[in-house]
């Protein structure tokens, strides 16, 4: 996890979530006077070999901790990517449900974006590669180094919400 830093007045703070059963990325982005700034990013990695229910608890606890520490105003989450196998889709759906519930329990409006919308908001091209998303997230947020892949995807989700400002919640 990157440390929390002092970044000045925040107009809007969004928590982005990239749901995954093995790795769930998160990223908190502030809209500040001079653009966008990363407050915190990281990855939640449940212990391998534990039951699904324990993994989901770990993910929920991790998201709740980020919400408590950063006090975002909204949660944005990536919609399910339909090209995966059915077992992966079901597990991803479980993780999405836990993340959505954590946001709702935290009193946050929850928004979802498709992978195409996210890539278009960050890279300008809906079929961009994962590495391109990482590089653009680094450039947009002026990060000193590339964030880990799943954290970069979560930051991209938060950036997408700040760019598109959907109003219809889940």
Helix (H) or strand (E) holding 161: helix 149-164
Q: Indicate if 18 belongs to the active site.
A: yes
Q: Which of 31, 78, 117, 153 is catalytic?
A: 78
CB count, 10 Å around CB of 8? Answer: 9
Those residues with Cβ within 8 angstroms of residue 128's Cβ, 6 or more apart along the chain or in another chain:
119, 122, 136
Q: Indicate if 150 belongs to the active site.
A: yes
Q: Which of 18, 30, 43, 117 is catalytic?
A: 18
Do β-strands 24-32 and 35-44 pair in parallel, antiparallel, or remain unpaired? antiparallel
Q: Indicate if 78 belongs to the active site.
A: yes
Q: Which of 43, 112, 117, 150 is catalytic?
A: 150
Q: Catalogue the active-site residues.
A: 18, 78, 150
């Amino acid at each position: 996890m990157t440390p929390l830093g002092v970044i000045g007045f925040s107009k809007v703070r969004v928590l982005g979530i990239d749901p995954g059963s093995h790795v769930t990325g998160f990223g908190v982005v502030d809209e500040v006077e001079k653009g966008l700034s990363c407050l915190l990013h990281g990855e939640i990695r449940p212990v391998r070999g534990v039951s699904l229910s324990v993994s989901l608890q770990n993910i929920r606890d991790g998201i709740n901790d980020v919400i408590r520490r950063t006090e975002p105003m909204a949660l944005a989450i990536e919609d399910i990517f339909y090209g995966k196998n059915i077992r992966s889709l079901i597990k991803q759906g479980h993780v999405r449900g836990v993340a959505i519930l954590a946001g709702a329990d935290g009193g946050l409006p929850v928004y979802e974006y498709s992978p195409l919308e996210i890539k278009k908001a960050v890279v300008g091209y809906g079929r961009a590669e994962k590495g391109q998303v990482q590089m653009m997230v680094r450039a947009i947020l002026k990060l000193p180094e590339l964030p880990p892949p799943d954290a970069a995807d979560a930051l991209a989700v938060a950036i997408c919400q700040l760019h598109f400002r959907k109003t219809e919640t889940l």
